[in-house]
Homo-oligomer: A and B are copies of this chain.
């Protein structure tokens, strides 16, 4: 086992409810293994390039504060969306990064993020190899979208899925309250991968029918067929609920929101706005065709920062991948991502491993087609069997004076 003097860690891409648990895993494990300084990049690699770094021990001084960090949503260190240029294209950025890292006497570099972050780790570790730098580069997986290859799942997905499934149950109760027909359309994050939208299925149980239809980005949505199915469902039940991914596409391959909302968007003079959500589009279409009460609910950014309802399984695994990244660096690994490997499905047992980050970066893991029940616009039991263990158990925030307490870096 090697030694670590100074290490640096950054967070990148969209936040999750448990991304700071991975940061806590890196920090605590590096500290326990004798790292002298544990630096944090403010706003990822973009901040590093501006030498905006903090010495984390100045801010996180006790076990209590480590626990608080785990329970604080969004990226404690700040995030960025910065993609390194291709190697050989503009090496001045790489020279600058390594000059800064060498000046700080960094042994190991940890980056917590999704596909783009793994691309960063792949490039930096390749460049290090080229110039003969001993700095180790390890990726720590994180994304609510669950779209990273090789790893069984990604930390952040379980908590987002738990929030979504729990909320679907609550909204189902709400939708049933009046003795009248209604259609509720829930718009869920996931531009190309339907994992989170599929997670609405976890709401189904003996006390809840869950969504009636699940519209995923993996398969084209026949909107006329969907309206027909809703009309059919309305003969049997008052409240019909449809879950749709923000990235669902129509038969012509275009995003549904583009197809339906274009006329409305075009007259909008402001120009800065993203397209109206796919959920609103389905709700409009249903209202037009079936003349019944409709409601569109956007789950919005809350699904990635609702740390008041996280899955303890997810929180623990997020910590473990951070801790395992440090152990991998101690073992001399570089150019690797920590993966989660499901050793046993029932009872659920999961361990960490390391994997060549070049074989992961820039791939996008979609929901397997065989887990989609195309005819019924639903998911198969295989998906439920896969996802159910990931949303188990709870870990509540430290509540102070009625609201969750968070730890923040002072300005």
Report the separation of the CA atoms of residues A321 and B178 in the bound assembly, to the nearest whole angstrom: 23
A14 nearest CB neighbor, chain B only: B177
Q: Would you call A142 an interface residue if the criterion is a C-beta within 8 Å of the partner chain's C-beta atoms?
A: no
Least Cβ–Cβ distance between A19 and chain B, in angstroms? 10
Report the separation of the CA atoms of residues A391 and B401 in the bound assembly, to the nearest whole angstrom: 8
Q: Would you call A22 an interface residue if the criterion is a C-beta within 8 Å of the partner chain's C-beta atoms?
A: no
Total identical chains:
2
Name A302's contact: one of B170, B178, B284, B407 (CB within 8 Å). B170
Q: Which residues of B contact A263 (CB under 8 A)?
A: 267, 269
Q: Would you call A405 an interface residue if the criterion is a C-beta within 8 Å of the partner chain's C-beta atoms?
A: yes
Least Cβ–Cβ distance between A139 and chain B, in angstroms? 19
- Do the beta carbons of A298 and B298 come within 8 Å of each other? yes
Whether A304 contacts B205 in the complex (CB less than 8 A), given A311-B402, A391-B402, A394-B399, comes out as no
Least Cβ–Cβ distance between A38 and chain B, in angstroms? 20
Q: Would you call A80 an interface residue if the criterion is a C-beta within 8 Å of the partner chain's C-beta atoms?
A: yes
- Do the beta carbons of A178 and B406 come within 8 Å of each other? no
- Do the beta carbons of B73 and A174 come within 8 Å of each other? yes
Least Cβ–Cβ distance between A101 and chain B, in angstroms? 20
Q: Which residues of B contact A308 (CB under 8 A)?
A: 166-167, 170, 308-309
Name A402's contact: one of B81, B162, B208 (CB within 8 Å). B162
Q: Would you call A123 an interface residue if the criterion is a C-beta within 8 Å of the partner chain's C-beta atoms?
A: no
Name A295's contact: one of B207, B264, B283, B301 (CB within 8 Å). B301
- Do the beta carbons of B406 and A402 come within 8 Å of each other? no
Whether A80 contacts B178 in the complex (CB less than 8 A), given A207-B408, A297-B302, A300-B298, comes out as yes
Name A267's contact: one of B178, B264, B306 (CB within 8 Å). B264
Q: Mark A241-269, 1 if CB is under 8 A from B, else 0.
A: 00000000000000000000001100111
Binds B, one of A106-114, A286-294, A331-339: A286-294
**Residue of A169, A177, A294, A391 with highest tally of chain B CB at under 10 A:** A177
Q: Which residues of B contact A272 (CB under 8 A)?
A: 284, 287-288, 291, 293-294
Shortest beta-carbon contacts, A-B, top 9: A391-B402, A272-B287, A74-B173, A174-B305, A43-B179, A170-B305, A79-B177, A270-B288, A74-B174
